Each structure stands twice: as structure tokens, then as C-alpha cells.
Amino acid sequence: MKHLKNYLFALGCLTAVGLTSCLEDVNDEKTGFSRQEISECFNTIKGNYTGKLLFEIQNPNDPNDYVDTLDITWSVTADTLIVINQFPQATFLEQVQDSTLKAALAKAAPESLKANFGFYNTNPIAFMVYPIAVNYDIMIENVAHKATLAFWYNNYSFGSFDLTSRVLQIQMIMSALYLDESISRNYLLKSGSGSVSIPLVITNADLSK
């Protein structure tokens, strides 16, 4: 849990700095970035990445350990799109409150997680992230269903790129799991209603340091 909290805190600080910068831009009557500024930011961060995905999960062998890591690849393939290849269900399965649905999701093929993004700071490079809901084709008692993983928007999901270390880090917050396009029940909650916030972080930083 220590590592994930540290990353969330660091990214949160960067967001605060970036948003302050945006407010200053508004006061200076600057309404946004030029096409050249956006292009320069995109050309700096575009490409393929290999790194780690950090997510919260209880370690049965250590009650003080709430974080796990998985190897993951992702890419920045367009000026508004991030793609995480084969986004693993392990990031949220422990939170699924229906055992039948959990078992079905565990058997489903991993899907790609795609997210739009928009720059709000150029030095350091920082951007808001807008994850697109992930759909899983599953089978329950030989009947086909679709499970949908949703995310929080606005100030909850964001990323940064360090120009010196070349480290790209992105935080996203999972909010709900729905079945068959019905939003009447959130399967990430015992009560079935309301909302949750389940963070995850992807980074190409060397976590051994």
C-alpha cells in the first residue's frame, strides 16, 4: 500500500500544480494551448511503453500489504488516445461482490483499456485522462452477458511525463461494474448502489529503487 499511496500523492501534487498553472493562464486571458504546443507534448510522450500496473489487493500472507504489481504494456498512439493492452481483471476482481459474476469474469479474455486525454500543462507535461468503459463478454449458466467496468472522470484520472527521467505515470479510478448495460446495481458494492473509488497506477519507473 505504501508504494501506491506515494504514487497517488505525487501525481496529486502535480495535478495541483498544473491546475494552478491553468488558473493563471485564465487570468492571463489564455484560453488554451496552441496546436504547436499540443503537438510538441504529444510527440514527446507518444510511443510504446513497458512497465508496471499497481493496484490494491489484500495479501493473504501479510495483513499490512494492500498493493500488488503486474507487468503491463501500453501505448500513446494518437494525440488523444492511450491504449493499455490486455487490461487484467485482477485489478478489480477482489472487489466483485457476486461470486458467480466474479467466476465468469475470471474466465473472460482480457480486453484493452482505452482512454482519451488532454494536456493541461506543458512543463512538466501533465494531462487529464478520460478512460473509456471496458466491456467483457462473459457466460453465466450458458447464457451470454456483457459486464462493463466504468471509471471516474474529471479530476480523478490524470497523468504526467517527466522530461528528465522519461517516466510516464497515469492514475485512473475505477468506479463501478455493471451487468448487461443496467446501471441499477454496482457489483463492486455489497449494497449494490452508490459508488466506489478503486485506484490503479501505471508507470514505467524503476520500482526497485
pTM over 0.85, yes/no: no
Give the confidence band of 104 by pLDDT, cuts at 50, 70, 90.
very high
Average pLDDT rounded to a whole number, residues 67-88: 91
Query: How far is it between the farthest Cα atoms of the chain?
Result: 61
Average pLDDT rounded to a whole number, residues 26-47: 75
Give the confidence band of 21 by pLDDT, cuts at 50, 70, 90.
very low
Tell me, what's the pLDDT at 170? 94
Higher-pLDDT residue of 154 and 48 is 48
Q: What percent of the chain has pLDDT over 90?
A: 57
Tell me, what's the pLDDT at 66? 65
Higher-pLDDT residue of 127 and 79 is 127
The pLDDT tens digits of the residues spanning 156-184 come to 889 999 999 999 999 999 999 999 989 99
Tell me, what's the pLDDT at 63? 61
pLDDT mean across residues, the chain? 83
Q: Where are the beta strands (DSSP E) in the chain?
A: 47-56, 67-78, 81-87, 111-122, 125-131, 134-140, 143-151, 158-161, 168-179, 198-203
Phi-psi category of residue 175: left, alpha or beta, with phi > 0 → left and psi -120 to 50 → alpha: alpha
Residue 50 Cα distances to 25, 30, 125, 205, angstroms:
34, 36, 19, 10
Tell me, what's the pLDDT at 62? 60
| Nine-digit cell string for 55 | 493496484
